[in-house]
């Protein structure tokens, strides 16, 4: 049991990666839709590239969304409106008219005229109540079908223009009296009718809405069906409107089939295989090309977490409404990974994520093409993320690429731009705005995962930070040396394409350990007193070597990132403190060289190797007497060649060509520092 525990402990990092791999695979498959997928790809107006396709089973041809929408609009337009007709109101109005007429026209007119006026008023009432008088102003088309109900039973059908509007009975009254030459009685009749006329038609909203809902519910989502073994399309045949709808129906049928237990488990297993294969490729890539990332479980977890996050957001949007798919800022993934690692890893992870999403998104080829192109543009355009202007310009370029690519795909599919959906361009703009969230997201990730980005490095490069202020006060010579080394290292990194911001920050902090005993280092000995004169060589070398350990301790106490601490650990590698070793050897011939070497480790990246070269050259350059171009050239060559012979760069992924470029930069910089000039003839 003890042996098993020890073995597990020794391999706990690998066990963790396996568990992380399995958990990520499970979660991604869990988010995926559990259905079959149509194995053919096709585009409207393009030839069918696959073999002749026969119907694998009976299925219905689904109507397009436009067809269903047109049917809905027709039903809404032609659906009748139901009004309740209250007949007792009409009878009451007639009775009230008889009484009111006698009261209004008593002895003021002749008996013959009275009879004639009474009949005219009665005829106007019949016109008003021929179909009925509305109780409100309704906004329906004149030709809208109307059904009049009496006690919930249909009594009569007509059109809306036949009904008397509640504000038009006076107009009817005036027209009839003016036409007959009885204008002098018009005002009395208007007053009379105002008192007696009451609406007898009221909209029955419940029946109207229910009837409309029933008609809408009866819309068939299909039009016809295809029998099994029927030839759907032949190879090379153009996918035109009808064929396209049939193929879309078949594709939809595949996605919506109810799977039995064995099919369901098989689909799950197949998805798991593909997802596991993609994630395995990522792990193999890390192991082969980014071993430092692969060995760090926190960094591997961070990469897997971001991939899972993008899959989760995409499935969330698809389940809500797939038309908002392009709002998801997928380019945040390569941006974040490039900020913390490098461009190659960012692009590789982005492409794998897009391939995974291709299983679940509609128009998968179009989606993958757009996202991969956008990812490439992101990697190529976004540099120096800590500069805000760079991010805004890059996001603008990414958004433009989205719009151009989508426009091209739309023209290819439709053959015209008449129905181009401009709201999709708005989604791309929203996506670009969401991509700007990468800045606060990077800050959050730094706190959660303990990583460091160029944004943090920019903050650390400020010489007004508390730690660098302390260094300048306690060890001003070391601070000045660090600034010179930072300038040399930054120029060298730019020359070979290394991370110049990282190496500059590393150079600024690499000697902070000298703050503990500043006077033991020559650059801080302003009084001419050397404390080493009172110490033995072994005591002196211990003090010198300890500045590395002291620097690591101070850095951790001040929460400097591990990437910066690496420069403190490696800037001397395992090099020999030659002065004190030679001094001790004069006393004791059998002196062990290892006792006078730094504890290491050796530089393990281009940036740490650059710092070692620049630090040694800058420090030793102070001993140059009467410097000339020839002396500087020999001096730089001697120092760096000695480091190479000592094997200090064996663990760093730096080439001979890059070392030669660094030598050239150092020679030019030192020549400028010493103000060397060409000697002109007098």
Residue 235 lies in a domain: no
Do 645 and 613 have their domain in common? yes
Do 184 and 295 have their domain in common? no
Strand pairing report for 153-159 and 201-203: unpaired
Do 445 and 460 have their domain in common? no
Spell out the residues 6+ positions from residue 568 whose beta carbon is closer than 8 angstroms to its own.
506, 509, 510, 512, 513, 548, 551, 552, 555
Nearest to 353 by CA among 335, 65, 195: 335
Spell out the residues 6+ positions from residue 397 whose beta carbon is closer than 8 angstroms to its own.
377, 381
- Measured distance CA(374)–CA(441) in Å, rounded: 20
Nearest to 646 by CA among 602, 584, 590: 602
- Measured distance CA(657)–CA(484) in Å, rounded: 24
Q: Is 577 in contact with 585 (CB distance < 8 Å)? A: no
Which residues, listed in sequence order, are joined to residue 153 by a DSSP beta bridge? 150
Residue 6 lies in a domain: yes
Q: Tell the burial category of 172 from Cβ atoms under 10 Å away from its Cβ (0-12, 13-18, 19+).
A: middle
Is pTM beyond 0.75? Reply is: no
Do 276 and 392 have their domain in common? yes
- Measured distance CA(22)–CA(300) in Å, rounded: 13
Residue 521 lies in a domain: yes
Residue 589 lies in a domain: yes
Q: Is 53 in contact with 38 (CB distance < 8 Å)? A: no
- Measured distance CA(595)–CA(261) in Å, rounded: 70
Spell out the residues 6+ positions from residue 164 whose beta carbon is closer than 8 angstroms to its own.
127, 128, 129, 130, 131, 132, 133, 134, 172
- Measured distance CA(300)–CA(19) in Å, rounded: 12
- Measured distance CA(499)–CA(343) in Å, rounded: 12
| Residue 677, pLDDT score | 47
Q: DSSP code of 159?
A: E
- Measured distance CA(475)–CA(481) in Å, rounded: 10
Residue 680 lies in a domain: no
- Among 191, 216, 241, give the residue marking a domain's end: 216
Do 483 and 430 have their domain in common? no
Do 472 and 576 have their domain in common? yes
Residue 15 lies in a domain: yes
What are the two backbone dihedrals, phi and then psi, of residue 136, each rounded to the nearest 5 degrees? -155, 170
Do 445 and 458 have their domain in common? no
Residue 162 lies in a domain: yes
- The CATH number for 568's domain is 1.10.3210
- Measured distance CA(188)–CA(78) in Å, rounded: 42
| Cα 517 off chain centre by | 50
| Residue 258, pLDDT score | 46
Nearest to 104 by CA among 219, 188, 208: 188
Do 368 and 441 have their domain in common? yes
Strand, helix or coil at 510?
coil
Do 464 and 584 have their domain in common? yes
Spell out the residues 6+ positions from residue 636 whose beta carbon is closer than 8 angstroms to its own.
617, 663, 666, 667, 670
- Among 160, 195, 216, give the residue marking a domain's end: 216
- Greatest Cα pair distance, the chain, in angstroms, is 155
Do 437 and 502 have their domain in common? no
- Measured distance CA(210)–CA(227) in Å, rounded: 36
Do 198 and 276 have their domain in common? no
- Measured distance CA(200)–CA(202) in Å, rounded: 7
Q: Which residue has the tokens 């992380």?
A: 20
| Residue 682, pLDDT score | 47
- Among 432, 449, 466, give the residue marking a domain's end: 449
Q: Is 580 in contact with 591 (CB distance < 8 Å)? A: no
- Measured distance CA(397)–CA(417) in Å, rounded: 23
| Residue 607, pLDDT score | 92
DSSP letters spanning 409-476: HHHHHHSSSTT--HHHHHHHHHHHHHHTTHHHHHHHHHHHH----HHHHHHHT-TTSHHHHHHHHH-H
**Tally of domains in the chain:** 3
Q: What is the CB neighbour count within 10 angstroms for residue 621?
A: 20
| Domain containing residue 442 | 2-34+261-449
144: left (phi over 0), alpha (psi -120 to 50) or beta: beta
57: left (phi over 0), alpha (psi -120 to 50) or beta: beta
- Ordered alpha helix ranges (H), 136-240: 169-179, 186-196, 205-217
Residue 13 lies in a domain: yes
pLDDT along the chain (682 residues), means of 10: 56 85 92 66 69 76 80 88 86 81 64 68 81 85 87 86 77 64 62 79 88 86 78 77 77 62 73 92 92 88 94 88 84 89 90 91 84 89 70 85 84 72 83 86 85 82 90 92 93 90 93 91 80 84 90 92 91 88 81 85 92 92 78 90 92 91 91 61 48
Spell out the residues 6+ positions from residue 109 whose beta carbon is closer than 8 angstroms to its own.
117
| Residue 5, pLDDT score | 58
Do 282 and 351 have their domain in common? yes
Percent helix, strand and coil across the chain, each rounded to 5? 65, 5, 30
End-to-end CA distance of the chain: 88
**HEC states along 113-144?**
HHHHHHHHHHHHHHHHCCCCEECCCCCCCCCC
């Amino acid at each position: 049991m003890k042996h098993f525990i020890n073995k597990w402990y020794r391999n706990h990092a690998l066990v963790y990666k396996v568990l992380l791999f399995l958990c990520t695979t499970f979660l991604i498959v869990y988010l995926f839709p559990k259905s079959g997928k149509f194995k053919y790809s096709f585009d409207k107006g393009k030839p069918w590239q696959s073999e002749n396709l026969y119907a694998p089973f009976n299925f219905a041809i689904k109507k397009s969304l436009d067809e269903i929408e047109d049917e809905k609009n027709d039903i809404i337009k032609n659906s009748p409106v139901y009004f309740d007709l209250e007949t007792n109101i009409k009878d009451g109005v007639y009775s009230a008219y008889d009484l009111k007429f006698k009261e209004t026209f008593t002895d003021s007119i002749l008996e013959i005229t009275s009879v004639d006026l009474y009949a005219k008023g009665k005829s106007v009432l019949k016109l008003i109540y021929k179909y009925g008088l509305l109780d409100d102003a309704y906004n329906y088309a004149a030709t809208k079908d109307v059904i009049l109900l009496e006690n919930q039973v249909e009594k009569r059908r007509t059109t809306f223009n036949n009904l008397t509007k509640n504000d038009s009975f006076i107009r009817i009254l005036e027209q009839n009296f003016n036409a007959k030459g009885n204008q002098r009685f018009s005002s009395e009749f208007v007053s009379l009718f105002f008192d007696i006329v009451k609406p007898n038609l009221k909209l029955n909203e419940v029946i109207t809405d229910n009837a409309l809902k029933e008609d809408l519910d009866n819309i068939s989502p299909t039009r016809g069906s295809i029998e099994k073994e029927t030839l759907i399309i032949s190879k090379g045949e153009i996918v035109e409107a009808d064929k396209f709808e049939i193929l879309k129906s078949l594709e939809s049928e595949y996605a919506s089939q109810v799977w039995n237990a064995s099919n369901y488990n098989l689909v799950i297993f197949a998805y798991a295989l593909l997802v596991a294969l993609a994630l395995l490729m990522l792990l193999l890539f890390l192991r082969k090309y980014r071993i430092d990332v692969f060995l760090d479980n926190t960094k591997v977890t961070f990469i897997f977490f971001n991939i899972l996050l993008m899959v989760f957001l995409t499935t969330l949007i698809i389940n809500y409404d797939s038309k908002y798919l392009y709002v998801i800022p997928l380019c945040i993934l390569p941006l974040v990974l490039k900020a913390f690692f490098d461009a190659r890893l960012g692009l590789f992870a982005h492409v794998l994520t897009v391939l995974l999403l291709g299983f679940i998104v509609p128009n998968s080829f179009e989606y993958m093409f757009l996202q991969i192109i956008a990812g490439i543009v992101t990697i190529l355009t976004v540099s120096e993320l800590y500069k805000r202007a760079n991010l805004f310009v890059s996001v603008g370029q990414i958004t433009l690429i989205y719009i151009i690519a989508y426009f091209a795909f739309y023209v290819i599919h439709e053959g015209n731009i008449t129905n181009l959906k401009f709201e999709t361009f708005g989604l791309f703009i929203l996506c670009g705005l969401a991509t700007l969230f990468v800045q606060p997201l990077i800050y959050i990730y730094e706190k959660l995962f303990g990583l460091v980005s160029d944004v943090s490095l920019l903050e650390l490069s400020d010489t007004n930070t508390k730690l660098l202020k302390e260094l300048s006060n306690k060890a001003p010579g070391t601070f000045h040396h660090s600034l010179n080394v930072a300038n040399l290292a930054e120029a060298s990194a730019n020359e070979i394409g290394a991370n110049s911001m990282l190496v500059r920050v590393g150079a600024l902090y690499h000697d902070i350990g000298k703050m503990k005993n500043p006077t033991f280092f020559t650059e801080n000995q302003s009084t001419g007193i050397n404390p080493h004169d009172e110490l033995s060589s072994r005591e002196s070398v211990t003090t010198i070597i300890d500045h590395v350990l002291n620097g690591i301790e101070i850095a951790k106490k001040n929460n400097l990132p591990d990437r910066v601490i690496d420069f403190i650990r490696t800037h001397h590698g395992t090099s020999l403190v030659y002065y004190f070793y030679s001094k001790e050897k004069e006393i004791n011939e059998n002196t062990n060289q290892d006792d006078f070497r730094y504890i290491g480790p050796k530089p393990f990246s281009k940036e740490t190797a650059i710092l070692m070269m620049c630090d040694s050259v800058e420090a030793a350059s102070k001993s140059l007497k009467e410097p000339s171009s020839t002396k500087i050239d020999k001096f730089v060559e001697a120092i760096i060649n000695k480091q190479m012979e000592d094997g200090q760069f064996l663990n760093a992924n730096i080439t001979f060509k890059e070392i030669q470029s660094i030598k050239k930069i150092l020679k030019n910089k030192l020549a400028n520092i010493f103000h060397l000039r060409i000697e002109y003839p007098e």
